[in-house]
């Protein structure tokens, strides 16, 4: 069974609703997290992201100044900030298919619809920590691979073009636990 040492992870919670921030903080501390930072809108969230360099961002969608989707598009800019690969969990009351699709296409790592549950949040965190997906960069997209599964029976057209792979670089994983503090 996979377990996570939450006190090794740094969280940033971005939500304009103080009650929801308090609930998230309570759940994360309950899991064992120590480092939980908060921001109350998209602009403050981006500033906190730059300042704290969190491991996992949990953001609301509907927020003032700029919303969670716009925030995510700003973070998912290769070369523009310290960690464009950061795990982003979108926690929102929006649950319509077009919203989920829009979040996916903006580069969300996991989507969690409110009402929140301890189990749902825990599962999303386990997933981003233990099963990270590779990132895809195209002319129009930069974010986690949107193909979560390989379907051997797929018979449609292959939308990703390309021939022989050209490996640019391979660097061994650096475990967070071994990184200098």
**How far apart are CB 72 and other proteins at their closest, in Å?**
16
CA 91 to CA 63: how far, in whole Å?
12
| Positions 72 through 111 that interact with other proteins (CB under 8 A) | 78-79, 82-85, 87, 92-98, 100
| Positions 48 through 77 that interact with other proteins (CB under 8 A) | 53, 55-56, 62
Assess 2 for contact with other proteins (CB under 8 A): yes
Assess 145 for contact with other proteins (CB under 8 A): yes
Alpha-carbon separation of residue 35 from 7, 39, 97, 181 (angstroms): 7, 14, 33, 14
CB atoms within 10 A of CB 158: 7
Q: Kind of pairing, strands 56-59 and 135-137?
A: unpaired
Assess 47 for contact with other proteins (CB under 8 A): no
Assess 177 for contact with other proteins (CB under 8 A): yes
Q: Which is nearer to other proteins, 157 or 163 (CB)?
A: 163
- The span of 40-48, 69-77, 102-110, 155-163 binding other proteins (CB under 8 A) equals 155-163
Q: Kind of pairing, strands 110-113 and 135-137?
A: unpaired
User: What string marks each residue from 3 to 42 as x (binds other proteins by CB under 8 A) or -?
Assistant: xxxx-xx------xx-xx-xx--xxxxxxx----------
Assess 43 for contact with other proteins (CB under 8 A): no
CA 130 to CA 92: how far, in whole Å?
23
Of 178, 138, 176, which Cα lies nearest the Cα of 35? 176
């Amino acid at each position: 069974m996979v377990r996570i040492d939450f006190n090794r992870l740094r969280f940033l919670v971005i939500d304009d609703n103080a009650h929801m921030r308090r609930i998230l903080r309570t759940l994360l501390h309950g899991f064992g997290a120590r480092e939980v930072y908060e921001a109350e809108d998209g602009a403050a969230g981006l500033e906190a992201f730059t300042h704290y360099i969190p491991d996992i961002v949990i953001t609301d969608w509907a927020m003032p100044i700029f919303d969670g989707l716009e925030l995510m598009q700003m973070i998912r800019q290769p070369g523009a900030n310290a960690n464009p690969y950061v795990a982003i969990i979108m926690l929102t009351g929006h649950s319509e298919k077009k919203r989920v699709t829009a979040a996916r296409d903006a580069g969300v790592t996991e989507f969690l619809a409110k009402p929140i549950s301890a189990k749902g949040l825990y599962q999303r965190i386990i997933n981003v920590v233990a099963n990270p997906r590779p990132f895809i960069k195209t002319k129009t997209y930069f974010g986690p691979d949107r193909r979560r599964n390989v379907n051997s029976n797929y018979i449609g057209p292959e939308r990703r073009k390309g021939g022989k792979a050209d490996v640019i670089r391979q660097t061994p994983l650096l475990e967070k636990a071994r990184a200098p503090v």
